[in-house]
Amino acid sequence: MASTAPWWRYAVIYQVYVRSFADANGDGIGDLAGVRDRLPYLRDLGVDAVWLTPFYRSPMIDGGYDVADYRDVDPMFGTLADLDALVSDVHAMGLRIIIDLVPNHSSSAHPWFVEALTSPPGSPARDRYVFRPGRGTGGELPPNDWGSVFGGPAWTRAGDGEWYLHLFDPAQPDLNWANPQVYAEFESILRFWLDRGVDGFRVDVAHGLVKAEGLPDLGNVSRDLLRSVATPYFDQEGVHEIYRAWRKILDEYPGDRMAVAEAWVGSPVRVARYVRPDELHQAFNFEYLLAPLEAGAMRKIIDESLAAAAEVGAPTTWVLGNHDTVRPVTRYGDGPAGLARARAAALLTLALPGSMYVYQGEELGLPEVLDLPDEARQDPTWERSGRTVRGRDGARVPLPWSGDRPPYGFSPDATATWLPQPVDWAERTVAAQAGAPASTLELYRHALRLRREHPALREGSLRWLEPPSADVLVFARDPGLVCAVNLGAEPVTLPEYGDLLCASTEVTGRVLPPDTAAWWSR
């Protein structure tokens, strides 16, 4: 059934964390040529699009979210020519590609910031960032009480005594979006990449660009920054004006270009404001990711998400993990039970209306790596927290492709990868799972194929059905599809829903075992 809806409304978008996807040149670090080599894998998996995490020139203090040149590829990842070749291969396969855009802050190695540091207080070069005099008699105290997401204060003192703002690492100074040069520069950067053919952008820290007038103290508001609601530095009204301007630019280009907001703003209603008709196209549904995998909590967040999105006419998105969060298998309990629950969650999520983001390795059922040696840790959170918060490296371990020991085909044999891989991943490699009917990889392949083929899994709306117990979710997507998920401890017997299409564990007859999701169709 041909549909005129833009591709992203129902797309399954696969997040490639470039550094950890595939290493073509043997330095132990993933690169663009590695992504290119493995595109057939993504096509055969059945996703619609790829999102690449930052590959720009960067000192890599925060995994490339510290950008020194927004218009060039870091030599670690390849060249602009590699990127162009990748974009054209992606398109030749009928897939789309979106790239990460990091507008809240640059790297401290960006020429603008280097210039700002060598320019006097009050100079135009400093005005592109957020410099302020300190408090205290000699200005020895930070200008306000804001903390960095990675720990410690959000301010660092420059050589001449002024302080600059960094909501993240000191190597990531916040840009001043009240400065017209910043505005113009990012419009030009958008055009640079749109002209090269990318299909869209994932907007990093989309909720952070505008800070409250006067930079008021935070006071007693929760410091859980990723979930904060009203703070003077997140989710300020002014950010929406920026996205309205960007939307106009995206709309000038042919072929349904889009942008997805990374906005940790605390409720589906606040999130929906980023996807009003004249703003961005999608926003990650982090409330869904954070919800406990219990029937009541999941049903509530699904309903709230659908309602908030419908209010503004946008599609919902669903996300179970990314490079910043603990992998679902581990979040849901680790071990075989965690894996079973992650598989059930995947099947539930793929049956929901809208678009889904899959983080690389979810399709392999990879767990978080909890026992990385401390000396291998790279996430700035580790040092900034005084080595108390281990950070996000455990979700960023290089993918296992084949073979029975590290580097599992990620790099040529015997290469040490940039983060070490566990020695017990032989059964989790792509090669080990491909063709094995009970594997997580085959579950994803099967479900993604059904999602493309079954008409209910596109436009069909969601209708809750009476569950056999409070621990079970059952819903229909019309025409003819039913998804049931048993999140309780006991098997349940279901009514007759038609033919079994797909299940996250063995399902016989009408009995749905615990930690299992299944789809039926008539």
Q: Which residues bind Ca ion (CB under 5 A)?
A: 23, 25, 27, 29, 31
Question: Applying CB under 6 A, which of residues 279, 324, 362, 368 lies at the interface with ligand GLC?
Answer: 324
CA torsion sign for 318, 323, 325, 330 is: positive
Q: What angle do CA 492, 497, 499 make, to 5 degrees?
A: 110
* 49 binds, options Ca ion, ligand GLC, none, Cβ within 5 to 8 A by partner type: none
Distance CA 230, CA 222 (A): 10
Smallest CA-to-CA distance from 246 within 206, 290, 219 is with: 206
278 counts as catalytic: no
Site for ligand GLC in 345-374 (CB under 6 A): none
Examine residue 467 and say whether the peptide bond preceding it is cis (omega within 30 degrees of 0). no
Q: Toward ligand GLC, which CB reaches closer, 323 or 343?
A: 323
> How many residues line the site for ligand GLC (CB under 6 A)?
9
* 168 binds, options ligand GLC, Ca ion, none, Cβ within 5 to 8 A by partner type: ligand GLC
| Residue 146-185 contact track with ligand GLC, rule CB under 6 A, x = bound | ----------------------x-----------------
| Residue 396-435 contact track with ligand GLC, rule CB under 6 A, x = bound | ----------------------------------------
Q: Toward Ca ion, which CB reaches closer, 17 or 444?
A: 17
Distance CA 446, CA 437 (A): 10
Q: Which residue has the tokens 């767990």?
A: 367
Question: Applying CB under 6 A, which of residues 189, 205, 258, 271 lies at the interface with ligand GLC?
Answer: 205
* 65 binds, options Ca ion, ligand GLC, none, Cβ within 5 to 8 A by partner type: ligand GLC
* 204 binds, options Ca ion, ligand GLC, none, Cβ within 5 to 8 A by partner type: ligand GLC
Rounded to 10°, the helix 335-350/440-453 angle is 10
Burial class (CB in 10 A: 0-12, 13-18, 19+), 180: exposed
Q: Which of 140, 160, 252, 413 is catalytic?
A: 252
Contacts of 522 (CB under 8 A, 6+ apart): 480, 497, 498, 499
CB of 79 to Ca ion, least distance (A): 12
- For the chain, the maximum distance between any two Cα atoms, rounded to a whole number of angstroms, is 76
Q: Toward ligand GLC, which CB reaches closer, 225 or 342?
A: 225
Distance CA 410, CA 23 (A): 6
Q: Among all residues, whose Cβ is closest to Ca ion?
A: 31
Site for ligand GLC in 254-313 (CB under 6 A): 262
* 27 binds, options Ca ion, ligand GLC, none, Cβ within 5 to 8 A by partner type: Ca ion
CB of 191 to ligand GLC, least distance (A): 22
262 counts as catalytic: no
Report how far apart the first and last C-alpha atoms of the chain are (Å, whole number): 18
> Going by DSSP bridges, is the β-strand pair 258-261/282-283 parallel, antiparallel, or unpaired?
parallel
* 205 binds, options ligand GLC, Ca ion, none, Cβ within 5 to 8 A by partner type: ligand GLC
| Residue 54-73 contact track with ligand GLC, rule CB under 6 A, x = bound | --------x--x--------
CA-CA distances (angstroms) from residue 176 to 128, 130, 249, 262, 462?
5, 6, 21, 19, 43
CB of 255 to ligand GLC, least distance (A): 26
**Which amino acid is residue 113, in one-letter code?**
F
CB of 279 to ligand GLC, least distance (A): 19
Instruction: Quote the DSSP letter at residue 141.
Output: B
Q: Which of 48, 66, 174, 204 is catalytic?
A: 204
Contact 61, 172 (CB under 8 A): yes
Contact 305, 288 (CB under 8 A): yes
H-helix segments, 280-427: 286-290, 295-312, 328-331, 335-350, 380-384
Q: Toward ligand GLC, which CB reaches closer, 48 or 262?
A: 262
CB of 172 to ligand GLC, least distance (A): 6
CB of 262 to ligand GLC, least distance (A): 6
For residue 204, state whether it binds ligand GLC (rule: CB under 6 A): yes
Q: Toward ligand GLC, which CB reaches closer, 170 or 406?
A: 170
Please write down the HEC assignment for all residues of 399-415.
CCCCCCCCCCCCCCCCC
Contacts of 91 (CB under 8 A, 6+ apart): 97, 197
3-state secondary structure of 447: helix
Phi-psi label, residue 215: left if phi above 0, alpha if psi -120 to 50, beta otherwise: left
Q: Toward ligand GLC, which CB reaches closer, 146 or 425?
A: 146
Distance CA 391, CA 396 (A): 10
* 62 binds, options ligand GLC, Ca ion, none, Cβ within 5 to 8 A by partner type: ligand GLC
* 156 binds, options Ca ion, ligand GLC, none, Cβ within 5 to 8 A by partner type: none
CB of 393 to Ca ion, least distance (A): 18
Q: Toward ligand GLC, which CB reaches closer, 173 or 338?
A: 173
* 41 binds, options Ca ion, ligand GLC, none, Cβ within 5 to 8 A by partner type: none
CB of 66 to ligand GLC, least distance (A): 7
3-state secondary structure of 463: strand
Looking at the annotation, which residues are catalytic?
Answer: 204, 252
Residues that bind ligand GLC (CB under 6 A): 62, 65, 102, 168, 204-205, 262, 323-324
